[in-house]
Homo-oligomer: A and B are copies of this chain.
Amino acid sequence: MTKESVLGRIVRIFEVFGTDTPAVSVSELARRADLHVATASRMVEQLVGHGWLQRDADRKVRIGMRLWELASRASPALPLREAAMPYMEDLHAVVRHHTQLGVLEGDEVLFLERLSTRHAVVNLTRIAGRLPLHVSSSGEVLLAHAPVELQERVLAGPLRGYTPNTVTDPKVLRARLADIRRDGFACCAGYVDERATGIAVPVRGPGGGVVAALSVVVPNDANARSQIPALRAAALGIGRAMGLSLSENRL
Contacts and interface: CB of A to CB of B under 8 A. Distances in A.
Interface of A: 1, 3-4, 6-8, 10-11, 14-15, 17-19, 21-22, 42-43, 46-47, 50, 52, 54, 62-78, 85-86, 89, 92-93, 103, 105, 110, 115-118, 126-130, 241
Contacts of A89: 89, 92-93, 115
A129 B73 contact: yes
21 contacts: A3-B6, A3-B43, A3-B46, A7-B46, A7-B47, A11-B50, A14-B70, A18-B73, A19-B73, A65-B105, A65-B110, A67-B71, A68-B71, A69-B110, A70-B71, A72-B72, A72-B127, A72-B128, A75-B128, A85-B116, A89-B89
Contacts of A130: 69
Contacts of A73: 17-19, 126-129
- Total copies of this chain within the assembly: 2
Contacts of A74: 17-19, 21-22, 62-63
